[in-house]
Structure 1
């Protein structure tokens, strides 16, 4: 098996997209739901046999079907669609003469040509994520006597954020669609890693100094975070 393979497997609830991954770091076969693809990701250790992974999928077919049935319908960046920004919802409206994409009276006004609408919305969301999350990270770091070297946004599948030892922070741009308290928690989490590159007691103590939203943010991401992967 190659490092990554996509296929569709027929389970009891219907055809299911499955992505197979080989990982030298994996110690056991694992299975997780991929909200963006509406399917499953199976990770195999380097020496694991493919048949064991297939058995895992079929043995958990009921669980997979139940979890996939709970995924919200995907939302495309198209004219008339309602999309979240900071937890509030805005209707996408194509506004050819409107110039740069902007929020106005409950709408997201998007300029440019119709074929470019989806990309323009995506670009706007990523720019907003970079601006909002970056400013929040710098502010929290300054309050804690820390320094952020740079902030980047990416379209990650499994991480909302990360921090490198040299002070670079990364956030999933989709986080900008989540409620503000969720953004506040994730930013605090990554800023705390500037001092503590672990999840020990001192790390969590600093997180709670930086935000009052640890519990609410964690719960929202666990129960509703996957919905953000269905947008765009």
Structure 2
């Protein structure tokens, strides 16, 4: 195991040399940092690249660490943290007279307004649907922006992107070219959302899981297998 020092933080990484690899690849998952390098690239150059990307690597490691915490059913009480895009944001509840329940994101935290007479045991029943609705709206806009990086390579675009409740799938692609996404995937880090997006977009070209499909997915996202494994291990935590 190799390592570099970023400030006071030691970043350990696993280095693999490959005769097939033409460029340097750096990936981060729940198990750590992984580098695949062509044989001819010297270690000094590899570590110089790692140092340039150190802040990104640390952020990814922190995101995975946060998401690896065991899932706990939220009560939607003031001070509790709610997930979005792999991070946790604190919920602040303001009780008011004669007000309709509302939910929004404001200055780095979630803010909810509730009538004074709502007991704490009813918070989840009222606020969880509002949170999910907020998440769906933000997820739709987020998806359209993230998809662009893949559609340029694929030269295909989905007809529609729909964020919905899906019990068994993180996403799906219809024969008519619509991409359906489970709102829960937007609780995960962006790198994992990208995997689900790329996975479904590849079906626009191959509506199956043939060899050609996996080659298309690898073209869109070379390290998709590591992201797929993260989702397999941590998918159960993506809920509220």
Same fold (TM over 0.5): yes
- Which TM-score bucket, shorter chain as reference? 0.5 to 0.7
User: Under a length normalisation based on structure 2, what TM-score does the superposition of the two structures give?
Assistant: 0.59
Partner SS, residue 127 of structure 2: helix
Superposed displacement of residue 171, structure 1 = 0.3
Secondary structure (helix, strand or coil) at the match of 1:101 reads: strand
| Distance in 1, Cα, partners of 2:142 & 2:179 | 13
Map of 1:202 onto structure 2: 212
TM-score, length-scaled by structure 1: 0.61
| 1:148-187 equivalent positions in 2, closer than 5 A | 148-187=158-197
Q: Is the 8 A contact 1:101 1:111 kept in 2?
A: no
Counterpart Cα distance in 2 of 1:111 and 1:131: 24
Unmatched segments (≥5 aa) in structure 2: 1-68, 97-101
User: Structure 1 residue aligned with 2:154, among 135, 144, 150?
Assistant: 144
Tell me the residue number matched to 1:101. 104
What does 1:1-232 correspond to in 2, within 5 Å? 72-95=71-94, 101-105=104-108, 107-111=109-113, 113=115, 116-229=126-239, 231=240
* 2:65 alignment counterpart: none
Q: Are the structure 2 counterparts of residues 157 and 221 from structure 1 closer, same or farther at C-alpha, using a change threshold of 3 Å? A: same
CA deviation profile, 1:33-92 (whole Å, cap 9, x unmatched): xxxxxxxxxxxxxxxxxxxxxxxxxxxxxxxxxxxxx97332243432212111111111
Q: Is the CA contact 1:128–1:176 (under 8 Å) kept in the aligned structure 2? A: no
CA distance in 1 between partners of 2:223 and 2:180 (Å): 20
Distance change (3 Å), C-alpha of 1:77 and 1:204: farther
Contact persistence 2:103–2:110 (CA under 8 A): no
| RMSD over aligned Cα atoms | 2.5
Distance in 2 between the 1:154 and 1:179 partners? 19
Report the alpha carbon displacement of residue 216 of structure 1 after superposing the two structures with TM.
2.5
Q: How far apart in 1 are the matches of 2:81 and 2:178?
A: 33
Equivalent residue of 2:181, what SS?
strand
Count of aligned pairs: 159
Distance in 2, Cα, partners of 1:180 & 1:144: 20
1:204–1:223: structure 2 CA closer, same or farther, 3 Å change rule? same
Contact kept? 1:192, 1:206, Cα under 8 Å: yes
Residue 182 of structure 1 aligns to a residue whose secondary structure is helix
